[in-house]
Amino acid sequence: MLERLLITGANGALGSLCRARLGHLARVIRVSARGDLGEAGPNEEIIRCDLGDKAAVQALVEGCDGIVHMGGQPVEATWEIVRNANIDGMVNLYEAARKAPTRPRIVFASSNHAIGFHPQTERLDAKSSTRPDGYYGVSKVFGEALARMYFDKFGIETASIRIGSCVPEPVDHRMLSTWLSPDDLISLIERIFAIPVLGCPIIYGASNNDAGWWDNREVAYLGWQPKDNAEAYRAKLDAAQPRPGPEDPRARLQGGLFCADGIHED
Ligand code: 15L
Protein backbone atom coordinates (compact mmCIF):
# COMPACT_ATOMS: atom_id res chain seq x y z
CA MET A 1 0.00 0.00 0.00
CA LEU A 2 1.20 3.50 -0.81
CA GLU A 3 1.71 6.03 1.93
CA ARG A 4 0.31 9.05 0.09
CA LEU A 5 -1.21 9.06 -3.42
CA LEU A 6 -1.62 12.39 -5.17
CA ILE A 7 -4.46 12.67 -7.69
CA THR A 8 -4.19 15.82 -9.81
CA GLY A 9 -7.17 17.17 -11.75
CA ALA A 10 -9.33 15.54 -9.12
CA ASN A 11 -12.40 17.59 -10.05
CA GLY A 12 -12.25 16.62 -13.76
CA ALA A 13 -14.05 13.67 -15.35
CA LEU A 14 -11.27 11.10 -14.90
CA GLY A 15 -9.76 12.69 -11.80
CA SER A 16 -13.07 12.43 -9.95
CA LEU A 17 -13.44 8.83 -11.08
CA CYS A 18 -10.00 8.09 -9.60
CA ARG A 19 -10.86 10.01 -6.46
CA ALA A 20 -14.02 7.93 -6.02
CA ARG A 21 -12.41 4.56 -6.73
CA LEU A 22 -8.73 4.55 -5.77
CA GLY A 23 -9.03 5.34 -2.07
CA HIS A 24 -7.84 1.82 -1.17
CA LEU A 25 -4.42 2.33 -2.79
CA ALA A 26 -2.91 4.56 -0.11
CA ARG A 27 -3.12 5.48 3.52
CA VAL A 28 -3.72 9.11 2.51
CA ILE A 29 -5.16 10.38 -0.77
CA ARG A 30 -4.11 13.92 -1.61
CA VAL A 31 -6.56 15.41 -4.11
CA SER A 32 -5.70 18.49 -6.07
CA ALA A 33 -7.13 20.79 -8.72
CA ARG A 34 -7.24 24.48 -9.55
CA GLY A 35 -10.97 24.68 -8.78
CA ASP A 36 -13.29 23.55 -6.02
CA LEU A 37 -12.88 20.02 -4.62
CA GLY A 38 -15.71 19.99 -2.08
CA GLU A 39 -15.30 18.34 1.32
CA ALA A 40 -12.37 16.06 2.17
CA GLY A 41 -13.30 12.36 2.49
CA PRO A 42 -12.12 10.17 5.42
CA ASN A 43 -8.55 9.52 4.18
CA GLU A 44 -8.26 12.60 1.98
CA GLU A 45 -6.39 15.85 2.09
CA ILE A 46 -7.27 18.65 -0.33
CA ILE A 47 -4.75 21.01 -1.87
CA ARG A 48 -5.78 23.56 -4.48
CA CYS A 49 -2.99 24.15 -6.96
CA ASP A 50 -2.32 25.59 -10.41
CA LEU A 51 0.09 23.21 -12.18
CA GLY A 52 1.81 26.20 -13.79
CA ASP A 53 2.94 27.43 -10.34
CA LYS A 54 6.32 25.81 -9.72
CA ALA A 55 6.56 26.42 -5.97
CA ALA A 56 2.99 25.26 -5.40
CA VAL A 57 3.60 22.03 -7.36
CA GLN A 58 6.78 21.38 -5.37
CA ALA A 59 4.76 21.57 -2.13
CA LEU A 60 1.98 19.49 -3.67
CA VAL A 61 4.25 16.54 -4.49
CA GLU A 62 6.09 16.56 -1.14
CA GLY A 63 5.42 13.40 0.85
CA CYS A 64 3.78 11.51 -2.05
CA ASP A 65 5.01 8.08 -3.19
CA GLY A 66 2.43 7.78 -5.96
CA ILE A 67 0.91 10.26 -8.40
CA VAL A 68 -2.06 9.83 -10.73
CA HIS A 69 -1.66 12.83 -13.00
CA MET A 70 -5.07 13.49 -14.52
CA GLY A 71 -4.67 17.27 -14.28
CA GLY A 72 -4.02 19.62 -17.15
CA GLN A 73 -5.82 20.87 -20.25
CA PRO A 74 -7.97 17.95 -21.49
CA VAL A 75 -8.82 19.03 -25.06
CA GLU A 76 -7.53 21.33 -27.81
CA ALA A 77 -7.05 24.98 -26.82
CA THR A 78 -4.79 27.98 -27.45
CA TRP A 79 -1.06 27.42 -27.04
CA GLU A 80 -0.98 29.61 -23.95
CA ILE A 81 -3.54 27.43 -22.17
CA VAL A 82 -1.92 24.16 -23.31
CA ARG A 83 1.54 25.38 -22.40
CA ASN A 84 0.72 26.46 -18.86
CA ALA A 85 -0.99 23.24 -17.83
CA ASN A 86 0.55 20.55 -20.02
CA ILE A 87 4.09 21.78 -20.72
CA ASP A 88 5.09 23.96 -17.75
CA GLY A 89 2.82 21.90 -15.50
CA MET A 90 4.53 18.66 -16.50
CA VAL A 91 8.01 20.10 -16.00
CA ASN A 92 6.97 21.40 -12.58
CA LEU A 93 5.57 17.99 -11.63
CA TYR A 94 8.65 16.05 -12.73
CA GLU A 95 11.06 18.49 -11.12
CA ALA A 96 9.13 18.12 -7.88
CA ALA A 97 9.19 14.31 -8.27
CA ARG A 98 12.95 14.35 -8.89
CA LYS A 99 13.54 16.31 -5.69
CA ALA A 100 11.16 14.22 -3.57
CA PRO A 101 12.91 11.61 -1.38
CA THR A 102 9.72 9.51 -1.63
CA ARG A 103 10.49 8.72 -5.33
CA PRO A 104 6.90 8.76 -6.54
CA ARG A 105 5.72 6.37 -9.22
CA ILE A 106 3.62 8.32 -11.75
CA VAL A 107 0.61 7.52 -13.91
CA PHE A 108 0.49 10.08 -16.71
CA ALA A 109 -2.83 10.56 -18.52
CA SER A 110 -1.56 10.79 -22.08
CA SER A 111 -4.04 10.58 -24.92
CA ASN A 112 -4.83 8.94 -28.24
CA HIS A 113 -4.39 12.45 -29.68
CA ALA A 114 -0.62 11.86 -29.47
CA ILE A 115 -1.14 9.48 -32.42
CA GLY A 116 -4.37 10.97 -33.82
CA PHE A 117 -3.30 11.39 -37.46
CA HIS A 118 -2.71 7.69 -38.01
CA PRO A 119 -5.41 6.27 -40.26
CA GLN A 120 -7.95 3.98 -38.65
CA THR A 121 -6.74 1.18 -40.94
CA GLU A 122 -3.39 1.06 -39.10
CA ARG A 123 -2.65 -1.10 -36.06
CA LEU A 124 -0.36 0.68 -33.60
CA ASP A 125 1.84 -0.43 -30.76
CA ALA A 126 4.12 1.37 -28.32
CA LYS A 127 6.84 1.70 -30.97
CA SER A 128 4.64 3.38 -33.59
CA SER A 129 5.53 6.94 -34.46
CA THR A 130 3.62 9.76 -32.80
CA ARG A 131 1.32 11.81 -35.05
CA PRO A 132 -0.30 14.43 -32.81
CA ASP A 133 -3.47 16.06 -34.06
CA GLY A 134 -3.18 19.51 -32.41
CA TYR A 135 -1.39 21.49 -29.70
CA TYR A 136 -3.09 19.25 -27.15
CA GLY A 137 -1.72 16.11 -28.85
CA VAL A 138 1.73 17.71 -29.11
CA SER A 139 1.64 18.40 -25.37
CA LYS A 140 0.93 14.72 -24.71
CA VAL A 141 3.88 13.68 -26.90
CA PHE A 142 5.99 16.14 -24.89
CA GLY A 143 4.70 14.66 -21.64
CA GLU A 144 5.61 11.13 -22.71
CA ALA A 145 9.11 12.27 -23.78
CA LEU A 146 9.60 14.15 -20.52
CA ALA A 147 8.56 11.08 -18.51
CA ARG A 148 11.03 8.95 -20.48
CA MET A 149 13.87 11.41 -19.89
CA TYR A 150 13.21 11.47 -16.13
CA PHE A 151 13.20 7.67 -16.15
CA ASP A 152 16.44 7.32 -18.13
CA LYS A 153 18.30 10.00 -16.14
CA PHE A 154 16.80 9.62 -12.67
CA GLY A 155 14.91 6.32 -12.59
CA ILE A 156 11.51 7.91 -11.96
CA GLU A 157 8.95 5.36 -13.14
CA THR A 158 5.97 6.48 -15.21
CA ALA A 159 3.18 4.66 -16.97
CA SER A 160 1.98 6.86 -19.83
CA ILE A 161 -1.56 5.81 -20.72
CA ARG A 162 -2.68 6.90 -24.18
CA ILE A 163 -6.30 7.08 -23.11
CA GLY A 164 -8.83 6.47 -25.86
CA SER A 165 -12.32 7.60 -24.83
CA CYS A 166 -13.00 6.98 -21.16
CA VAL A 167 -16.72 7.54 -20.73
CA PRO A 168 -19.48 5.39 -19.18
CA GLU A 169 -20.44 4.02 -22.61
CA PRO A 170 -19.46 4.70 -26.26
CA VAL A 171 -21.43 7.62 -27.68
CA ASP A 172 -20.32 7.50 -31.34
CA HIS A 173 -19.04 4.92 -33.82
CA ARG A 174 -15.36 5.88 -33.38
CA MET A 175 -15.64 4.91 -29.73
CA LEU A 176 -16.36 1.31 -30.77
CA SER A 177 -12.57 1.31 -31.24
CA THR A 178 -11.37 3.87 -28.67
CA TRP A 179 -13.60 3.16 -25.68
CA LEU A 180 -11.97 2.59 -22.29
CA SER A 181 -14.54 1.67 -19.68
CA PRO A 182 -14.15 3.32 -16.27
CA ASP A 183 -13.76 -0.16 -14.70
CA ASP A 184 -10.91 -1.00 -17.08
CA LEU A 185 -9.13 2.29 -16.36
CA ILE A 186 -9.32 1.63 -12.62
CA SER A 187 -8.05 -1.94 -12.97
CA LEU A 188 -5.15 -0.65 -15.10
CA ILE A 189 -4.10 1.90 -12.47
CA GLU A 190 -4.34 -0.79 -9.79
CA ARG A 191 -1.96 -2.99 -11.80
CA ILE A 192 0.46 -0.10 -12.35
CA PHE A 193 0.83 0.38 -8.60
CA ALA A 194 0.81 -3.34 -7.80
CA ILE A 195 3.67 -4.42 -10.05
CA PRO A 196 7.10 -4.41 -8.31
CA VAL A 197 9.06 -3.03 -11.29
CA LEU A 198 7.17 -0.76 -13.68
CA GLY A 199 9.77 0.88 -15.92
CA CYS A 200 8.42 3.55 -18.24
CA PRO A 201 5.84 1.93 -20.51
CA ILE A 202 3.49 3.46 -23.06
CA ILE A 203 0.11 1.80 -22.67
CA TYR A 204 -2.90 2.17 -24.95
CA GLY A 205 -5.88 2.88 -22.72
CA ALA A 206 -8.66 0.99 -24.44
CA SER A 207 -11.01 -1.79 -23.37
CA ASN A 208 -11.02 -5.22 -24.99
CA ASN A 209 -12.83 -3.84 -28.05
CA ASP A 210 -13.40 -6.14 -31.06
CA ALA A 211 -12.92 -3.06 -33.28
CA GLY A 212 -9.79 -1.86 -31.43
CA TRP A 213 -6.73 -0.46 -33.25
CA TRP A 214 -4.07 -0.75 -30.57
CA ASP A 215 -1.74 -3.54 -29.58
CA ASN A 216 -0.62 -3.68 -25.94
CA ARG A 217 1.54 -6.80 -26.27
CA GLU A 218 4.62 -4.87 -25.10
CA VAL A 219 3.01 -4.26 -21.72
CA ALA A 220 1.73 -7.82 -21.21
CA TYR A 221 4.06 -7.94 -18.16
CA LEU A 222 1.64 -5.63 -16.34
CA GLY A 223 -0.91 -8.44 -16.24
CA TRP A 224 -3.71 -6.01 -17.10
CA GLN A 225 -6.73 -7.65 -18.63
CA PRO A 226 -9.38 -5.18 -19.77
CA LYS A 227 -12.80 -6.86 -19.45
CA ASP A 228 -15.24 -4.62 -21.32
CA ASN A 229 -15.92 -4.54 -25.06
CA ALA A 230 -17.53 -1.61 -26.89
CA GLU A 231 -19.09 -4.09 -29.31
CA ALA A 232 -21.91 -4.57 -26.80
CA TYR A 233 -23.08 -1.04 -27.72
CA ARG A 234 -22.89 -1.31 -31.53
CA ALA A 235 -26.57 -2.10 -32.13
CA LYS A 236 -27.64 0.73 -29.84
CA LEU A 237 -25.34 3.20 -31.67
CA ASP A 238 -26.46 2.02 -35.13
CA ALA A 239 -30.07 2.60 -34.12
CA ALA A 240 -29.38 6.02 -32.63
CA GLN A 241 -27.17 7.66 -35.30
CA PRO A 242 -25.93 7.23 -38.89
CA ARG A 243 -22.39 5.93 -39.40
CA PRO A 244 -20.13 8.75 -40.68
CA GLY A 245 -19.19 8.36 -44.39
CA PRO A 246 -15.72 7.05 -45.37
CA GLU A 247 -14.27 10.55 -46.02
CA ASP A 248 -15.38 11.88 -42.63
CA PRO A 249 -12.39 12.26 -40.23
CA ARG A 250 -14.46 10.47 -37.60
CA ALA A 251 -14.32 7.35 -39.80
CA ARG A 252 -10.86 7.89 -41.33
CA LEU A 253 -8.42 9.05 -38.66
CA GLN A 254 -7.78 7.70 -35.18
CA GLY A 255 -8.07 11.14 -33.57
CA GLY A 256 -11.42 11.73 -35.28
CA LEU A 257 -12.69 15.31 -35.24
CA PHE A 258 -9.59 16.59 -33.41
CA CYS A 259 -7.78 16.15 -36.77
CA ALA A 260 -10.21 18.49 -38.52
CA ASP A 261 -9.97 21.22 -35.86
CA GLY A 262 -7.95 24.34 -36.76
CA ILE A 263 -5.39 26.13 -34.61
CA HIS A 264 -6.99 27.89 -31.66
CA GLU A 265 -5.41 31.34 -31.87
CA ASP A 266 -4.72 33.44 -28.76
C1 15L B 1 -9.15 13.05 -25.14
O2 15L B 1 -7.93 13.12 -25.02
C3 15L B 1 -10.04 13.99 -24.42
O4 15L B 1 -9.53 14.36 -23.16
C5 15L B 1 -11.45 13.46 -24.28
O6 15L B 1 -12.29 14.54 -23.93
C7 15L B 1 -11.95 12.79 -25.57
O8 15L B 1 -12.09 13.75 -26.57
C9 15L B 1 -10.98 11.71 -25.98
O10 15L B 1 -9.65 12.20 -26.06
C11 15L B 1 -11.35 11.06 -27.32
O12 15L B 1 -10.54 11.07 -28.24
O13 15L B 1 -12.46 10.53 -27.42
Q: What ipTM was assigned to the predicted interfaces of this complex? A: 0.99
Q: What is the pLDDT of residues 205-243, one digit of tens each?
A: 999 999 999 999 999 999 999 999 999 999 999 999 999
Q: What is the pLDDT of residues 130-174, one digit of tens each?
A: 999 999 999 999 999 999 999 999 999 999 999 999 999 999 999
Q: Is the CB of 229 under 6 A from ligand 1?
A: no
What does pTM read for this prediction? 0.98
For residue 63, the CA-to-ligand 1 centroid distance in Å is 31
Output the CA torsion sign for 170, 171, 173, 177: negative
Q: Is the CB of 177 under 6 A from ligand 1?
A: no
Q: What are phi and psi of 163, to 5 degrees?
A: -70, 135
Q: Is the CB of 19 under 6 A from ligand 1?
A: no
Q: Which residues are catalytic?
A: 136
Polymer length of the chain: 266
Which atom of ligand 1 lies closest to the CA of 174?
Answer: 13
DSSP-derived 3-state class of residue 106: strand
Q: Is the CB of 73 under 6 A from ligand 1?
A: no
Average pLDDT over residues 171-188: 98
CA distance readout (Å), 87 to 91, 92, 112, 147: 6, 9, 17, 12
Q: Is the CB of 74 under 6 A from ligand 1?
A: yes
For residue 27, the CA-to-ligand 1 centroid distance in Å is 31
Return the pLDDT at 266. Answer: 85
Q: How far apart are the first and last CA of the chain?
A: 44
Bridge-partner residues for 203, per DSSP? 161
Strands (E), the chain: 2-8, 26-33, 44-48, 66-69, 105-111, 158-163, 202-205
Q: Tell me whether strands 66-69 and 158-163 are parallel, antiparallel or unpaired.
A: unpaired
Q: Which of 70, 82, 165 to mutate to test the pocket of ligand 1 (most atoms within 8 A of CB)?
A: 165
**Residues in contact with 248: Cβ distance below 8 Å, sequence separation at least 6, in sequence order:** none
Q: CB–CB of 160/147 below 8 Å?
A: yes
Q: What are phi and psi of 39, to 5 degrees?
A: -85, 145
Q: CB–CB of 1/26 below 8 Å?
A: yes
CATH 3.40.50.720 fits 2-260, yes or no: yes
Bridge-partner residues for 4, per DSSP? 28
DSSP per residue, 205-232: E--S-TT--B--GGGGGG-------GGG
